Amino acid sequence: MSRVLSTPPAGSGLKAVRGPRGLPLVSTVKLVRRPADLAASLRRAYGDIALTTALGRKVVVAQGPPAAAELTLNRDKAFSTEPVYGFALGRFFRRGILLMDFEEHHHDRRIMQQAFTADRLAAYHRQLERRITRSIRALPVGEAVDLRTEFKNLTLDIALEVFAGVELDRAATTELNRACVDLIEAGGAVVRFPIPGSRWRRGLRSRRRLEKFFGDLVAAKRTGAGDDLMSGLCRAEVDGHRLSDAAIVDHMIFMIFAAHDTATIALTATAFELAKSPQWRDRLRTEVQTLPETITYDDLALMPLCDLVMKEAIRLRPPVPVLPRAAVKDTELCGHHIPKGTFVIVLIGANHQLNDIWPDPTRFDPTRHDLDGHDSDRHRMAWMPFGGGVHKCIGMNFARMEVLTVLHRMLREFDWSVPQDFLMPVKDRSLTVNTGFPARVRKRSDHAASDGRR
């Protein structure tokens, strides 16, 4: 038996959103633990727009690129991120760019976008290339190296140096890393009171710590000539307006978290697929050995195979696995009636597994993204690992730059592998979709003899 979200208005021509009857707890567990399976069963029975239950409330699951496009482009401003993210993250990432909507979001994003132009990315690359070289050369070798932890430390170091213009020792970086984790864990807490020892209390304490850390930097950034992202935000203007000190702090807290978390996921996913694919490691190694020992931002355009591998890795494990929205007025989605207050989600990971778009979808095949050899008419929202529409990840090109630069260094100097039967576990904490993997890492003895042009 099925149930209906809401009866469409008479004469509207809209369809009702339908879904199965069942125990709310069961559907919630399926959504959290096996979202692709839940999405597939809903699509078979009810189509691309279907109803389920999560955390005791009705939720619409929107599948397929057309639904994702309609929801995220949000041309009639019917959907908002704030009611959804605000409940979970509002106390800890308040006024972060992801939690803003409409004119407020447009205003702040225009200012922040000035920090991600091609010229700015090229300047950032000069900094991060040096940091990546030092960190990758110091990778531990052995039989069970946790590359995800290494990547997480590296990407936070990069975010602090490039975004905030500071270099900290490992103890201080670890403390900030822990603070970022505390915020996201608090957002998912069941007990939402500052009880001693609770996630909520740790989150509030870590939020204050991060506010002080970035707040202490603002005055100097306003008047200085720094080349970091925070300095750029402090000086950037749109229509004669600058961001307030409080807005700078709010945005930096979210940006530091999102930047290093997203890059960590992308790096871990890419390294994992290469660990299981020696033939692709060899192809990519051949590619990077034609490049200089030290690459520039422009050299990234000469790494097309590395780019294909990264794209396929984050198709399988997207940094942004789900996009939630809330209807702020009665509206429609792909011809279905969506009443005000309805939560709608796009399960990006499930969309990336649709057989009609991605044949044999669980297979790792980077050539899918080589449009010279495939259908170039593929919908632009078929692949959206960084989200889409007006809230598309503002730092996605920065993350790509990090991944390719790390691959250049790792492939030249290391080899790594993982047992073919190893399955990377899923973890629903943070934005993350994985917990890492125990890689066998060894130093390449032929590195010095195999350098390409200098």
pLDDT at 189: 78
Give the burial class of 439: count Cβ atoms within 10 A of its Cβ; 0-12 exposed, 13-18 middle, 19 or more buried.
buried
pLDDT at 448: 47
Is 290 part of any domain? Answer: yes
pLDDT at 235: 86
pLDDT at 452: 46
Q: In a 3-state reduction of DSSP, which class is residue 314?
A: helix
Please compute the mean of the pLDDT values over residues 105-120 and round it to a whole number: 89
Please compute the mean of the pLDDT values over residues 83-90 and round it to a whole number: 84
Is 13 part of any domain? Answer: no
pLDDT band at residue 433 using 50, 70 and 90 as cut-offs: very low
What CATH number is given to the structural domain containing 124? 1.10.630.10
Q: Where are the alpha helices (DSSP H) in 97-145?
A: 102-113, 118-137
Cα gap 202→208, rounded to integer Å: 10
Over 90: is that where the pLDDT of 375 sits? no
Over 90: is that where the pLDDT of 426 sits? no
Is 300 part of any domain? Answer: yes
188-192, 340-344, 362-366: range with lowest mean pLDDT: 188-192
| Residue carrying structure tokens 């790509």 | 400
Q: How many residues does the chain have?
A: 454
pLDDT at 1: 74
pLDDT at 306: 98
Q: In a 3-state reduction of DSSP, which class is residue 103?
A: helix
What count of other Cβ atoms lies within 10 Å of the Cβ of residue 64?
22
Over 60: is that where the pLDDT of 432 sits? no
Residue type, 351: N
Q: Look at 250 and 89; give whichever has higher pLDDT.
A: 250
pLDDT tens figures, 202-256: 999 999 999 999 999 999 999 888 888 899 888 888 788 888 999 999 999 998 8
Over 50: is that where the pLDDT of 60 sits? yes
pLDDT at 260: 83
pLDDT band at residue 454 using 50, 70 and 90 as cut-offs: very low
pLDDT tens figures, 280-326: 999 999 999 999 999 999 999 999 999 999 999 999 999 988 999 99
C-alpha dist (Å) from residue 160 to 71, 176, 205, 214, 429: 33, 10, 20, 10, 22
Is 253 part of any domain? Answer: yes
Over 90: is that where the pLDDT of 188 sits? no
pLDDT at 299: 98
pLDDT band at residue 431 using 50, 70 and 90 as cut-offs: very low
Over 50: is that where the pLDDT of 34 sits? yes
| Percent of the chain topping pLDDT 90 | 62
13-17, 63-67, 176-180, 369-373: range with lowest mean pLDDT: 369-373
State which residues form the domain around 119: 102-316+390-450
Is 91 part of any domain? Answer: no
Over 90: is that where the pLDDT of 436 sits? no
Instruction: Report the Cα–Cα distance between both ends of the chain, in Å, rounded.
Output: 67
**pTM for the full model?**
0.90
pLDDT at 376: 65
Is 340 part of any domain? Answer: no
**For the chain, what is the mean pLDDT?**
89
pLDDT at 181: 83
pLDDT at 453: 44
29-33, 206-210, 438-442: range with lowest mean pLDDT: 29-33
| Percent of the chain topping pLDDT 70 | 94
pLDDT at 430: 40
Is 243 part of any domain? Answer: yes
pLDDT at 305: 98
93-102, 236-245, 399-408: range with lowest mean pLDDT: 236-245
pLDDT at 176: 87
Cα gap 26→31, rounded to integer Å: 9
Nearby residues of 398 by Cβ (< 8 Å), 6 or more positions away: 116, 121, 124, 259, 263
Q: Look at 224 and 189; give whichever has higher pLDDT.
A: 224
Over 90: is that where the pLDDT of 193 sits? no
pLDDT band at residue 145 using 50, 70 and 90 as cut-offs: very high
Is 267 part of any domain? Answer: yes
Over 60: is that where the pLDDT of 427 sits? no
- What long-range pairs does 26-32 form, CB within 8 A, spacing at least 24? 27/52, 27/53, 27/54, 28/53, 28/54, 28/55, 28/56, 31/59, 32/428
Domain count, the chain: 1
